């Protein structure tokens, strides 16, 4: 019984994570890559 409930809880958590990640996946990849580049650049230059 306990094992089955634990598995169901894990499945629900996985579904929630997937739905939270969906908006970021639906965004255009270019803007995300550009944001990552600018973040790396600002941290590297120390600005």
Does the predicted model carry a pTM greater than 0.85? no
pLDDT at 28 (0 to 100): 62
Helix (H) or strand (E) holding 22: helix 2-26
Confidence of residue 15 (pLDDT cuts 50, 70, 90): confident
Q: How far apart, in whole angstroms, are the C-alpha atoms of residue 27 and residue 8?
A: 30
Tell me the CB-side half-sphere exposure of residue 31, using CA atoms within 13 A.
5
More confident position, 9 or 45: 9
């Amino acid at each position: 019984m306990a094992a089955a409930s634990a598995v169901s809880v894990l499945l629900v958590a996985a579904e929630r994570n997937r739905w939270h990640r969906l908006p970021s996946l639906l965004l255009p990849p270019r803007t995300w890559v550009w944001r990552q580049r600018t973040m790396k650049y600002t941290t590297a230059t120390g600005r």
